[in-house]
Amino acid sequence: MQTQFANAVTQKENGTRLGGSILRAGGLVAFPTETVYGLGANGLDGEAVRRIFEAKGRPSDNPLILHVAKKNDVKQLWPRIPPIARTLMDAFWPGPLTLIFNRSSIVPDEVTAGLDTVAVRMPDNKTALALIREAGVPVAAPSANSSGKPSPTAAEHVREDLEGKIDLIIDGGPCRFGLESTVLSLVGAPTILRPGAVTKEMLEAIIGPVALASSILSPLKEGERAASPGMKYRHYAPEAEVLVGEGVPRQAANRIARAYDAAEAEGKRCMIFATEQTRAFYTGRQYVIIGDREDPATLCRNLFAKLREYSEKADVIFAESLPEQGEGLAYMNRLLRAAGFHTLS
């Protein structure tokens, strides 16, 4: 099974049928979603799910998200669906919102890493939905990268990390959002464990106040327990050093330009992730435009691809901070983790 389909990269149409049969047989299929590429396995088969952890080198105490093709499929995964979850599903599914609630007994321990809760979402991507429908089961899927690499936002990234280790990669082109889903716990007061394209503001417009887990913008303190096991890992760690310029755009850009010149004087290869608004500050230095500060979604979409591209070409990457509102919160959460929380202030 593992070798029969190894390395196959197919077009979307045939890919979902072949992918469905591979998943039913216990194999691994990488597939596009609107957030990042996922690495899927039959979410009700503990042994198939274990292969995901092996292929990625993912720590086994970091639970996975189950992906469903219709809202009613949640019924089998949770013992009951609380009214607030219904409201959120109606407002945001299919879409980049993962909901966590108590799990039912059919969910294998491999998925939840032994927790008594399980995370579920319905992706907003035709290929992903067709694949899940073909599989006929909930599909457990983390991001389809090697653990420690930025999440893949194109099929090429999946190939770089996992070729030869999984059965099929379905190429659906570049991902629309480029950062992983918002993770919201509904066990107790609604709490965002990981910010994403469904923002705090969007959630609050529908259900009222939503809390933020403390580790979203700061490292875990000594002895502190992560609300979401994934947050204790330095997930998005590129090889290059990443430094975040803090402050309003002019300040951030000046700090970056100064640190760039100092690093260059030490012989380091430097790269700046500039924005439409700040390019003029970086004249004479190496920079790439990663988006428009007025539209943070553009920065979110490009961040992981650019980290991947430059983490070997550069020794130091400089990036500007964004206001931590709307999608800016998700951007800062990923950027600060990639930077190991190293800022220029």
Using CB under 5 A as the criterion, which residues of the chain lie in contact with Mg ion when the complex forms? 142-143
Least distance between Mg ion and beta carbon 143 (Å): 3
d(CA 343, CA 345): 6
The listed partner (Mg ion, ligand AMP, none) that binds 46, CB under 5 to 8 Å by sort, is none
Least distance to Mg ion from the beta carbon of 151, Å?
Answer: 5
Q: Which span sits near ligand AMP by CB under 6 A: 5-13, 59-67, 68-76, 333-341?
A: 59-67
Nearer to ligand AMP, 18 or 332 (CB): 332
DSSP state, residue 137: S
Burial class (CB in 10 A: 0-12, 13-18, 19+), 260: buried
Q: Reading across the β-sheet that carries 270-275, which strands appear in turn?
A: 287-291, 270-275, 316-320, 241-245, 343-344
Q: What is the Cα–Cα distance from 318 to 244, expressed in whole angstroms?
A: 6
Cβ-closest residue to ligand AMP?
230
- Distances from the Cα of 276 to the Cα of 246, 249, 327, angstroms: 17, 11, 17
Torsion sign (Cα): 128, 123, 68, 149:
positive
**Out of ligand AMP, Mg ion, none, which partner does residue 138 contact, by CB within 5 to 8 A per kind?**
none
Identify what 191 binds: ligand AMP, Mg ion, none; CB under 5 to 8 Å per kind: none
Q: Which does 183 bind (CB under 5 to 8 A by kind): ligand AMP, Mg ion, none?
A: ligand AMP
Q: Say how far apart CA 243 and CA 172 lie, in whole Å.
A: 32
**Residue with smaller CB distance to ligand AMP, 255 or 337:** 337
Ranges within 213-232 binding ligand AMP (CB under 6 A): 228-231
Do 194 and 228 contact (CB within 8 A), yes or no? Answer: yes
Q: Which residues contact 54 (CB under 8 A, 6 or more apart)?
A: none
With tokens 């991001």, the residue in question is 143
Count, residues near ligand AMP per rule CB under 6 A: 20
Q: Are 23 and 42 in contact (CB under 8 A)?
A: yes
Angle between helices 12-24 and 126-135 (to 10 degrees): 30
- Please state, in angstroms and rounded to a whole number, the distance separating the CA atoms of residues 57 and 148: 9
| CB atoms closer than 10 angstroms to residue 223 | 5
Residue 169 parent element (H or E):
strand 168-170
Q: Which is nearer to Mg ion, 56 or 255 (CB)?
A: 56
Residue 117 binding target from ligand AMP, Mg ion, none, CB below 5 to 8 Å by type:
ligand AMP
When binding is defined by CB under 6 A, the residue of 27, 40, 63, 195 that contacts ligand AMP is 63
Interface stretch with ligand AMP, choices 60-68, 247-255, 287-295, 310-318 (CB under 6 A) = 60-68
Beta carbon of residue 341, minimum distance to Mg ion (angstroms, whole number) = 19
CB of 114 closer than 8 Å to CB of 120: no
State yes or no: residue 18 binds ligand AMP (CB under 6 A): no
CB of 175 to ligand AMP, least distance (A): 13
Q: Does 194 bind ligand AMP (CB under 6 A)?
A: yes
Residues 115-144 as x/- pattern, contact with ligand AMP by CB under 6 A: x-xxx----------------------xx-
Nearest to 157 by CA among 141, 171, 138, 176: 171
Nearer to ligand AMP, 237 or 243 (CB): 237
Residue 64 binds to ligand AMP (criterion: CB under 6 A): yes
Which CB atom, from 125 or from 143, has the smaller least distance to Mg ion? 143
Q: Which residues bind ligand AMP (CB under 6 A)?
A: 62-65, 100, 112, 115, 117-119, 142-143, 180, 183, 193-194, 228-231
